[in-house]
Amino acid sequence: MKLSASTLPLLCAALLSVGGQAATLGTIPALPPGQTAPVPQPPRPQSPATQPPPEIAPSAPTRPQPAPPLVPLPVTPPAPPAAYQPGDPLYPRQWDMTTIGMPQAWTLLPETVRKVSTSKTPSITVAVLDTGFVNSPELAGRVVNGYDFVRDPARAGDGNGRDADASGVGQFAYHGEVVANIIAAAHDGRGMAGINPSARIVHVRVAGVDGLIDPQDLADGLRWAAGIAVPGVSANPNPAKVLNLSLFADFIPLTGCDARIQNAVNAVTAAGALVVVGAANDGADAAGYSPAGCRNVLTVTSATQVGTRPAYANWGRSVALAAPGGETGHGIPVSSLSGPGGVRTPDGTSMAAPHVSGGASLLLSARPRLTPAQLRGLLTRTATPFPGGHCDPEPARSCGSGTLNAGAAVRAALASSLGK
């Protein structure tokens, strides 16, 4: 299926009273008019013999009174820390980040918004299998030109077939850049704010200049991205723990998962990497698509800001989760070297998937030993329920467990011993 440049389908507070007059506590009220105060007379002295003996009245024994019960002083809990807010100029427009609870997630993981990763929060590598490498300023120092897996020189558009230069070529070249920026754009006071500004991105080119993806190119790209050997290709020095696929394979019937891609997904999962997939943009059942319909992947469809399915978004039992993907006239604000003023607002499941990939990388920053199955469980069971319990009036057009809630997922991960 060809890509559309406009929608990029490749896939967030007693006074006293005297005579009716009020008197201030501790003052003496004035005498009525015409009266003077009597002059006090000193007492007459008496001789000691005539003075009565002082009366010493025996004091009655008093019962000991029980002490009043101790009342604990009220304890004022410490105020929660203010939610972290990036200072990037595009952030106030990034409705998707507030929709998925990113301020809460960032507040729980303050180390992730620092410019340098620490041993407590290691830099998590995310592979973006897409249109290729773009040296985005949002990712400076954290983006790797991985590998070009497009075998056909004509479709590669760079004069050769597979090679170690994954640079994007052609009209769709910046699709991968947009996806990567959603995942990991820096919080540096410029442009947009990404989900995990400490993550590292490895670009793996699998799409030709026509925007199409060959199944074998995708299968090999999957393995290589996770650090699995591919014949004839140099080893990946930066294997990824999360693989983002905002795409689906072409040149095959849309009748189920292609065996080559399923085998590659199985190998990647066994190697400990999570495969996150966009459900595609045909308003159809995602089960027929590769890899959206494959086993062991986390398939993501689009949700609007209010949590409903946009008409274009694929659906069905193979979909595990929804995330902001935007809709016509209300897309996802992102930085891109290709956009007017460096900004674009695309929509599509291509934009939904990287929200989940970024969220998964955040969880791994907190709990680096989480398995793909544990990541999937955390992300799906903490999702925000759809309004009324469904994303679409038609029950068959399901969108998974709800809309991604990164804040709740991070909170659940930190409360658990899993992945420590």
Residues annotated catalytic, as ranges: 130, 175, 350
DSSP-assigned letters across all residues of 201-263: EEEEE-B-TTS-B-HHHHHHHHHHHTT---TTS---SS--SEEEE-----SS-SSS--HHHHH
What does the alpha-carbon distance between residue 346 and residue 9 come to, in Å, rounded to a whole number? 9
Distances (CA, A) of 246 to 41, 139, 353: 105, 19, 6
The residues pairing with 285 across neighbouring beta strands, listed in sequence order, are 315
* 269, 296 contact by CB (below 8 A): yes
Burial category of 319 from C-beta neighbours within 10 Å (exposed 0-12, middle 13-18, buried 19 and up) = buried
The residues pairing with 303 across neighbouring beta strands, listed in sequence order, are 324
| b/e code 218-231 from CB counts within 10 Å (16+ = b) | bbbbbbbbbbbebe
Both tokens of 406, joined, read: 């990164």
- C-alpha dihedral sign at 369, 371, 372, 374: negative
What does the alpha-carbon distance between residue 205 and residue 222 come to, in Å, rounded to a whole number? 11
What does the alpha-carbon distance between residue 185 and residue 198 come to, in Å, rounded to a whole number? 9
The alpha carbon of residue 24 and the mean position of all alpha carbons in its chain are separated, in whole angstroms, by 61
What does the alpha-carbon distance between residue 178 and residue 202 come to, in Å, rounded to a whole number? 14
Q: Break the chain down into helix, strand, coil percent, rounded to 5.
A: 25, 15, 60
| b/e code 276-297 from CB counts within 10 Å (16+ = b) | bbbbbbbebbbbbbbbbbbebb
Nearest residue to 342 via CA among 351, 354, 334: 334
**Beta-strand relationship, 343-344 and 16-18:** unpaired
* 292, 261 contact by CB (below 8 A): no
